[in-house]
Amino acid sequence: MKRKLYSLLVSVLAAALVFGGCGSQGGNPSGASDTSAVSTAGSSAQSKIDTSKEAEIVMYIIGNQSPDFENVMKEFNKKSLDDLNATLQVNYLNWGEYKTKYPLILSAGEPIDLIYTATWMNYYYQAQKGAFKPIEDLLPVYCPESYKTITEEAMKQATVNGHIYAVAGTKESYNAYGPVVRKDLMDKYGMKSIDTFDQYGDFLKAVAKNEKGMDPTFFTSTGSEIDDIYMLSKGLYPLTGNSGSIYWIDPKQEQPKVFSKTDWDGMPEFLAKMKEWSDAGCWSKSALANKDTEKMNNGTAASRIKNLEVWVSSNIDTKWDFNFYNFVEPIEILSHMQDAMAVPTSSNNTERALMLLDKIKSDKTYYNLLNFGIEGVNYKIHEDNTIESVDSTKFAFQNGFWGMQMRDFDLNKVGSPETLPQIQKEYHDTAVPNKFRSYYMDTEKIKNEYAAVQNVMEQYFNPLELGYVDPVKGLDTTQKQMKAAGNEKVLAELQAQIDKFIADNK
Amino acid sequence: MSYSTLVNNRIRMSKSTIIFNIIGYSILSVLALLCIFPFIMLLSGSFTAEQSIAQYGYGIIPREFSTNAYDLLFKNPGEIIHAYGVTIFITAAGTFFGLFVTSMTAYVLSRQDFKYRNGFSFFFYFTTLFNGGTLTIYIFFVKYLNLKDSYLALILPLLINVFYLLIMRSFMASIPSSIIESAKIDGAGEFLIYVRLILPLSKSGLTTIGLFILLGYWNDWYNAMLYISDYKMYPLQYMLYNMLSATEAISRISSSSGIEISNMPAQSLKMAMAVIATGPVLLVYPFVQKYFVKGITIGAVKG
Amino acid sequence: MQTSNREPERVGIMKNHQFLNEFNKNKALFIMIAPAVLLTIILSYIPMSGLVLAFKNFRYDLGVFGSPWAGFENFKYFFLSGTGARVTFNTIFYNLINLITSQFLSMLVAIFITEIFGKTYKKICQSLIFLPYFISWVIVGTFIYNIFNYETGTFNSILKFFNMEPINMYSIPSAWVWIIMIFNSWKWVGYNSIIYMAAITNIDAECYEAADIDGANIFQKIRSITFPSIMPTIIVMLLLNVGRILRGDFQMFYQIVGNNGQLYNTTDVIDTFVFRSLLTSSDMGMTAAVSFYQSVLCLVIILAVNGIVKRVNKEYALF
């Protein structure tokens, strides 16, 4: 009920904007305007949609194409031609090129109907810059089935300036974060569990002392995530919604005050601890120059701070068993915009594209084809409801289709930790909503200062939090540099945004 | 080095010559060692098991021999061979036309009696200072020149390198203008002078610039990344680059993908890639070399 | 293009036929230069219109030319908190020392290789020195980490072997100036020396023979024959490199230093700085703005340097 009201509100708002001439459509014939009359009429409208003309839907996703993919697509297109009189053309943006090419193909104006988007692909920025079509009016009409599955929270998270530009799947990732630790080493040093920060420190020190040629934990040049986990464990919320955020709030406050990591009260204490750990050899003295992200999986590191997914993949991929300890409370579902699909402005087949998307997300046969391939040929499902790949070099699972992952259709992979389904269920049941997850940082007005501040953090804070420099003096330098870079202006702008956000979401 | 060479070259063994050779030999030997050492590490790294690299780093001899990286690269040998074919075609065509246009233009610019040579030089040089940026060039190539998935998109951008053009010009400037004048008096046309007279006189310059153009085409993956999406048209370097970035990216985002990453030989793969991509050029190199490495006393310019 | 009221520079052709000769001669030369000019117009000058991006607030739906103007807004961030000045200085500094060391070494190598005895030896040497060109910066970066990392690096292993205290290179930013300089020379020496070798090969053998007869020793010959003869090449190489003095070799810096903030003060150049700061926002206008800034500064510098060279010797100038 609530969702319907919300969508109605949004669509009315959108229609007002479009007719008021403020819409970003700019005379595109197949935009929101030509369907605004249909409004939220629901699935009954779909039967009236004219699909007599065959349409080719062009989709861009990220990844490298599997060798068997063409065969699978033949199968897929046979079905979609029957059902929707449409075929799907999937173009992969390879891993080596996606960063460069993604903005290029969006700007070059070639017709693309569906494209992967995500927070880490700058969804909010691109949506603001007019890369995508608003689809709030189209979703109930052309995506009736999957529309039902979208939570109110997910809707809010996709909203940019009152419009919805992308639609996510129902897959849930959780904010659980903490050490992933080699089990055999824990046993060796008599550790039953790692529940506190200091226990983790004890583990690191034990490894540092006794295991030659092994890093107790490791980082890459992007800096450690220990500070994130430390602040998350104190119940603070990062404004980017992810680790690595510079600006934080305390969501428990009535009117949360935005502060930068470097100004946080607990920072001196944390840095002193890090200095102590660093001097005890808990990580390499050249940790920031390290480029090897696989240290734990190839046996040269004993632990790392990460999430549930890394824990699972490490267990599947290596010969060791790992334990995972979550330090974050309460459990929340991460923004759905971590993975989503959008319709670029250049699309010529918006309606059919959305219908096809709906089909993929609501029809398991479509879903499995794209994500797992052809049953028997590419995958097998075991009795315990786990899925196994026949030959992952021929067809890789969920290769690039993360933007439409559905919780109910997904299966755990063979070799996953036994406790995984239980943990997933527990997280799902206990997860609490956090309204701030639909807030997104808009750095447009402060882009200069924000870029400068980021640079300062990389230069001064990353070595500081690893205890490479004196914690007191180092923090002082960092704060001064932050100030010079325009920290105060950024803080003021973000504070204004948060205040407005709270007022809007009363 | 040997006595006979000395006699042949009619060089007197003076004290300074000996000192010069001692210095020369020691500097070159040290430098050559510094250069070959990392290459051996690279070669050995490409044959080392991934685990061993992670544990002990690189060495001169593989600690734990493994052909994993090459197995992965040659999983589809047909693909690699095809990519070699594409690269060889692009390189051959590009080098031929590139060298032709570069040398012809350089010749015109080197003519001291060509009034606008400085103006034209600046016209070319200006493009190395200012360019429209990747976005505009991409849109122009794809939308207006329609060069997406076309080999021309791989050849055109590297056809004229202004740096090579100006270096070539400086080589040609050393050709005495009296030669050109006398040819003209004999009634030869400009184009004929260029083909019959200038090109043979510029052999070393042509070889050098030709080699650079060739290497430029051979190593280019960037244009393929921008304009080629049909994997059957991938040149070698881009295919290798892609494989590598895939293995790296896959391990980086393993959490969100379902791809199994066990034993991806990312490190040794890097090395094996370099070996595969470098090999053929190294084989061709000695043949090219003779044009610019020769003792000046053996006889320099052949008319 | 040809106007009759301009005095031709050259002399020696009979005055009556001056105009006709000039025209005929130019026609052929113009036709020969035409393909390159056309290609340059199509491939470089037309897309150059994209320079306006530097002054635009880019929007996907409006395109490069339709996007609203932003004035100098895109340039602002670069100069905030003095970072722009620092990275500009670093870029020029590295380009200058790399220019001097790498070109000098290349020249030295070229002279040695052409002048020493032993045909086989010098061919082998020359081939080996060329090898680093093929080792990409990605791999060089991995090697450097393997050499200098504190715990297991080769460098510290050697120090430990001689009972010396290990050194943490990654906490000594000034050391990286040397490391970068050495590796840059190492990588390019073979490539650049080919240019000088080709220039030396072009020298007329008769000059040397005449010098031999005069009893000149090898050092004298190098000083009075080799150097003057390859001077045009040296000047062209210097000018060409001065012309990109504000462009850092992104791959080199990025692969050697990466995002290691500890070393930024001495190793951050414009290209790495821009890459990093725009990684999160990927703002095309801002990228274009910095590129524009580099271009304008390069233009000013090259015009100045070329002007000086032109005064000294007209034939050495680039344009």
Tell me the pLDDT tens digit for each residue of A208-223: 999 988 999 998 877 8
**Confidence check: pLDDT of A31 > 60:** no
Check residue B210 and give its pLDDT. Answer: 93
pLDDT digits over A222-254, tens only?
788 899 999 999 999 999 888 889 999 999 998
Check residue A277 and give its pLDDT. Answer: 96
> What subunits touch chain C, counting only 3 or more CB pairs under 8 A?
A, B
Q: Fold match between A2-173+336-372 and A177-324?
A: yes
Tokens linked to A271: 């840095």
Between B266-289 and B236-252, two packed helices, what is the crossing angle to 10 degrees? 160
User: Within an 8 Å CB–CB cutoff, is residue C265 touching chain B?
Assistant: no
Tell me how crowded residue B43 is: count the other CB atoms within 10 A of its CB.
Answer: 17
Closest by Cβ to A448, choosing from C77, C264, C273: C77
* Domains with residue ranges and CATH for chain C: 78-316 (1.10.3720.10)
pLDDT digits over A304-354, tens only?
998 888 898 888 878 899 999 999 988 999 999 989 999 999 999 999 999
Evaluate whether C8 touches C22 at the Cβ level (below 8 Å).
yes
| Summary mean pLDDT of chain A | 86
Check residue C203 and give its pLDDT. Answer: 84
Determine the residue among A61, A298, A398, A401 to mutate to test chain B binding: the one whose Cβ has the most chain B Cβ atoms within 10 Å: A298
As a whole-number percent, the residues of chain B with pLDDT over 70 amount to 86
Say which CATH topology domain B69-298 has: MetI-like fold (1.10.3720)
**Confidence check: pLDDT of B258 > 80:** no
Return the residue of A nearest to C267 by Cα: A459
Span A264-293, average pLDDT? 93
Check residue C20 and give its pLDDT. Answer: 60
Chain C positions touching chain A (beta carbons under 8 Å): 58-64, 76-77, 80-83, 141-142, 145, 148-153, 168-171, 258-262, 264-265, 273, 276-278, 280-284, 286
Query: Taking the domains of chain A in order of start, what are their residue ranges?
Result: 2-173+336-372, 177-324, 438-504
Check residue A46 and give its pLDDT. Answer: 53
pLDDT digits over B87-135, tens only?
999 999 999 999 999 999 999 999 888 888 889 999 999 999 999 888 8
Inter-chain touch A107–C264, beta carbons under 8 Å: no
> What subunits touch chain B, counting only 3 or more CB pairs under 8 A?
A, C
Return the residue of B nearest to C222 by Cα: B20
User: Within an 8 Å CB–CB cutoff, is residue B247 touching chain C?
Assistant: no
Inter-chain touch A26–C62, beta carbons under 8 Å: yes
| pTM (2 d.p.) | 0.86
**Confidence check: pLDDT of A11 > 50:** no
> What subunits touch chain A, counting only 3 or more CB pairs under 8 A?
B, C
**Confidence check: pLDDT of A30 > 80:** no
Check residue C8 and give its pLDDT. Answer: 45
pLDDT interval class at A47 (50, 70, 90): low
Kind and range of the H or E element at A386?
A: strand A386-389
Check residue C4 and give its pLDDT. Answer: 43
pLDDT interval class at A3 (50, 70, 90): very low
Tokens 């007019």 belong to residue: A130
Helix ranges (DSSP H) in A363-486 = 364-372, 420-430, 447-456, 462-465, 471-485
Evaluate whether A393 touches B75 at the Cβ level (below 8 Å).
yes
**Confidence check: pLDDT of B300 > 70:** no
* Cα separations in angstroms, A503 against A255, A438, A498, A500: 10, 14, 9, 5
Span A412-439, average pLDDT? 90
Return the residue of A nearest to C284 by Cα: A103
CA–centroid distance for B21 within its chain: 30
Check residue A396 and give its pLDDT. Answer: 84
Check residue B264 and give its pLDDT. Answer: 64
Higher pLDDT, C11 or A152: A152
Superfamily covering domain A2-173+336-372: Periplasmic binding protein-like II (3.40.190.10)
**Confidence check: pLDDT of B296 > 70:** no
Question: Order of strands across the sheet with A259-260?
Answer: A237-238, A247-249, A259-260
**Confidence check: pLDDT of B251 > 80:** no
Query: Taking the domains of chain B in order of start, what are their residue ranges?
Result: 3-68, 69-298
Check residue C15 and give its pLDDT. Answer: 52
pLDDT interval class at B51 (50, 70, 90): confident
Inter-chain touch A96–B241, beta carbons under 8 Å: yes
**Is it true that domain A177-324 has CATH number 3.40.30.10?**
no
Which amino acid would we find at residue A440? Y
CA distance C146 to C153: 5
Check residue B63 and give its pLDDT. Answer: 87
Helices vs. strands in chain B: H and E counts, helices first = 16, 0
Written as one string, the DSSP assignment of chain C is: ---TTSPPS---S-GGGHHHHHHHHHHHHHHHHHHHHHHHIIIIITGGGGGGGGGB--BTTTHHHHSPB-TTHHHHHHHGGGHHHHHHHHHHHHHHHHHHHHHHHHHHHHHHHHHSS-HHHHHHHHHHHHGGGGS-HHHHHHHHHHHH-TTT-HHHHHHHHTT-----GGG-TTHHHHHHHHHHHHHHHHHHHHHHHHHHHTS-HHHHHHHHHTT--HHHHIIIIIHHHHHHHHHHHHHHHHTTTT---HHHHHHHHTT-GGGHHHH--HHHHHHHHTTTT--HHHHHHHHHHHHHHHHHHHHHHHHHHHHH-GGG---
Check residue A467 and give its pLDDT. Answer: 93
Nearest CA to C229 among C205, C203, C247? C203
From first to last of its 319 residues, chain C has per-residue pLDDT tens of 344 444 444 444 445 455 466 566 678 888 999 999 999 999 999 999 999 999 999 999 998 899 999 988 888 878 766 788 889 999 999 999 999 999 999 999 999 998 888 888 888 999 999 999 988 898 899 899 989 988 888 899 899 999 999 999 998 999 999 999 999 999 999 999 999 999 998 888 888 888 888 888 889 999 999 999 899 899 999 999 999 999 989 999 998 988 888 899 899 999 998 888 777 666 788 889 999 999 999 999 999 999 999 999 888 888 8
Check residue A17 and give its pLDDT. Answer: 38
**Confidence check: pLDDT of A275 > 90:** yes
Evaluate whether B101 touches C39 at the Cβ level (below 8 Å).
yes
CA distance B4 to B257: 68
Spell out the long-range contacts of A182-186 with Cβ–Cβ below 8 A and sequence spacing 24 or more: A182/A296, A182/A302, A182/A303, A182/A320, A182/A321, A182/A322, A183/A320, A183/A321, A183/A322, A183/A323, A184/A320, A184/A321, A185/A211, A185/A302, A186/A323
CA distance A388 to C35: 59
